[in-house]
Structure 1
Amino acid sequence: MKLAKKNVLITGASSGLGRALAMEAAAAGHKLVLVARSLDKLQQLAAELAERFNTDVSVYRADLNASAEWRAVLEEMLQQEQRIDVLINNAGVGYFRYFTETEPGQLDTTMRVNALAGMEAAAAVLPSMLKQQSGHIMMIGSMAGKVATPKAAVYAASKHAVIGFSNGLRQELKPYGICVTTVNLGPMDTNFFDTADPSGRYREASSRYMLAPEQVARKVVASIGKPKREINLPAWMGSGSKLFQLLPGFMEKLLGSQLSKK
């Protein structure tokens, strides 16, 4: 895949990592299709991107927590845009609570936004990718999908689903020239924590190794069109997750206090 002038769909694009991804993709010359709940923020971002990078930007308002609405928007989007070359499933939500304190609505929202909505987006864009025998699906996962921690059982489950889905889909699509990449991230300095951790304790405890959205966006956009299985950031967390999978009991004992910072 050539990098220029690909139709790139980014969900959760109005702020945080989604906004940084839009900036980086526009700078690389791609045409953008941006989705978020806030139409005002999307329109402001589109105007900024058009002015700075002279790029085409389409915006669509959608609540990914509402399946029927999201599927209708996807159908409308594909009619308007004709095809999507790159899908970056970035939208996500989390609530750092013990499972016994998690409300049913929070459970449903976490699994729906983080996992199911991304699968629905992939199902929508794949027919055109299969027809053109090329494309790239990039799923924003999390280190939590590899190493679950207290007060994040539901969030970890949703991201584990993202990783599992991506691993299976990658094998299915390899014969058709379509790449599937998971982007597994540690703590990142975005407004995600406004909902996940209103107390601010976890953000403060993780401040030393917080990722910058711009840093992640550069890595992700630079990987478009490349058959990368995973992008793991920070790298030392990616290495640690491999050790954790080999020796889970030992690592839980060794890192007990570190895993309980939420």
Structure 2
Amino acid sequence: MFQHSSRGTAVWLVIVGLALALTLITGEVPAAAAALLMAGYLALAYVVTRRVQVGSIIESLPRSPVRRPEMSEVAREAVGRASSHPRFDPLVRLLDVGLIVDEHRPDGVSLRRGRFISLDDDGIRPFAIVDVPEGIGDRMARIRFEIRDENGKPRYIYEDDKWLNAGENILLPDYRFPISSNETALDAGTWIMRVQVDGGMLGIHNFNLSPSLSERRRQLSPDGELRERVWRSEDEDISLPLSLEELLRQQSQQHRVR
């Protein structure tokens, strides 16, 4: 703008200045408006004579930093465990991770978030919420969930291609891991769940699989005390993120339609 002819630019500024001066001399413009017009003319003259691009001025203005979503405490623990893994991926941020205990009942599906699972529970399903940077978002990615028992043996593996948008994404397998109805005997103890994207390790989540009620009764000592204390999770009453719960219920409805 106005870079092809310096003389033409100067003439244009003079004409505009004279017109503005005549307008102000008439006295019909209020003093406040006159001051604003003069300030605007001086600013325009400075920009034009200095050949400063308006876009560069706007870009130089300070911008408020974009707040990235915060990680849950459970996600921080999982990332801390995964950080020493040789394939740890620091680019895709793990915002939340855990297990959903879903039980099919006559009145629908009961959902709760649990870290301490009982062998009496119907089944569990892992989930993760991740934050994908702009540069590597809007693409297909290979998602992998693993559940391993206390001995490190894989008991559940889910792997599929999912579309990842830039920003927050909910990663949720299409099927669950059966507990009480599992065809293979499951041992109580500390289990782990891993979540990966394109082979990069995002988090390693620990959870406890406690004995069934019948087994705990068998372990009762004569004085009525359990030989080994069975802990229950404090986070089982924490409600699921609304979008995640809606997604779960939609999947349940689709299965019933089929």
Does TM, normalized by the shorter one, top 0.5? no
When normalised by structure 2's length, the TM-score is 0.23
When normalised by structure 1's length, the TM-score is 0.23
When you count helix as a share of all residues, which structure comes out higher?
Answer: 1
